[in-house]
Structure 1
Amino acid sequence: MILRKVHVYLYIVSVALGYLILWPFFYYFSRSPERYRTLNSFRRLWGLVSSAFVGIFYRFEYEQPIDWSKPYIICPNHSSNLDISAMCILVKSNCCFMGKQELENGLVTGLFFRTVDIPVNRDSKMSSFRAFKKASEKLQEGVSLIIFPEGGISDNYPPQLCPFKNGPFRLAIELKIPIIPVSSANTWQILWDTGTKHGSRPGFCKFKVHKPVETAHLTVDNADALRDEVFEIINNHLKQGEVTTTYGSQFSGTMQQTGNL
């Protein structure tokens, strides 16, 4: 446990140091939407190098090749802060995250959520409406949207796959945008949540990139069915993984209680 605690603080230092070194580039390229693609390239570099510096690497297995010339809504399960770096590395095109409004005031995340990314207050219908309106505009401009459909990281350790919110699936249907489910069964073993409670360790974070789920033939009445389909794709992969006995599902009997975001 001591070594894991030391390792997570080394990771935090690596992330902070990388941010300080790249901050002039982040700031410059965040000043104009026309520069956001380059901003994302530097963010991708930052995530890759800061993780590799402490021996954390990302491995992606593709169910089929992805044509990154088209926009997608990427929906990964969420058990670790490393998921954010992983998605920056995965998406090879211009992209943005949608996340909780608190990230707008974060020391590291603030610059991105005040510019390229989309903050949302899930307790406010007006904030949710504005956030999804902005997401819609970005998707129509060809920018892919990364959103964690669980709405956050499970408080349980080991983590459990939480019910999905409806918002991204309604949006995908309305704009006829394919959804890419992404599964990771072991990232929490490398670093769970922020890592401050259980520490972290070197290793490979393994991600399964599923084939895109098409939405062109669906109507908004199919949003719940689409949500359930994407949930089952990810959940089934987690059940087949090495941590089947510890990364279970809380889906049954609770999905109907989720909100509309």
Structure 2
Amino acid sequence: MSSKDYSTAISAYSSAIEIDPTSPVYYSNRAAAYSQVAQHNKAVEDAKAALTIDSKFGKAYSRMGHALFSLGKYDEAVDAYEKGLDVDPTNSVMKSGLETAKKQLASSSSSSATSSGTDALAREAGTDAGPGLGGFPGMGGAGGMPDLSSLLNNPMLTQMAQNMMTNGGMEQLMSNPMIRQMAERMGSGGGGMPDMSQIQQLMQDPSMQEMARNMMGGMGRGAGGAGDGAGNNMYG
């Protein structure tokens, strides 16, 4: 493990387990080695095996938490770290891991909620959010980019633009501080394309959601009824 020869370490720990299958240390250390070669599912299995032998073996919880986090199972990682801190409350590595897992879980939940909100707006407009932009026909080009020729001739977008101009949509847009700042940056040559976090903030803004519904003007409703490993003392 010290020389970072992880495949050989896995082989050596496996031999140790054959000799003494009752040691949680060997399973826990092999779990750490598996994580170093990105075999996180095997790391979880070994951490569980170590805890079956000794439910108070703190490092096994730490290694399980790391492996679960690496697999994107943030809620399970949080649970593993919390259980580990129950048996080893002063473990700074698990405290840090728990904090990171909680933040990632919250971020993941927020992204999921934003995606659900976008889908709901699309359904209200009588469209499918789909792979394109808002599900409008002709807007799902290669890589999710719009087909510009279809975009310019899209009657739904023409209708939306007309609704925006007649219903005060432009004024509403510019009243949003984030959009106003983007427009100012674009006007000064400093760019202005929003990043994903800004888009998510806009989509979560109730006033922006209401404005989107107004701009769509009920289009389409007639037809349908409307994403520890090495730092935790590898040994023992």
TM tier, smaller: under 0.3
- Ranked by relative contact order (alpha carbons within 8 Å, sequence separation 6 or more), the top structure is 1
Taking structure 1 as the reference length, what is the TM-score of the superposition?
Answer: 0.25
Structure with greater helix percent: 2
Taking structure 2 as the reference length, what is the TM-score of the superposition?
Answer: 0.26
Larger Rg: 2
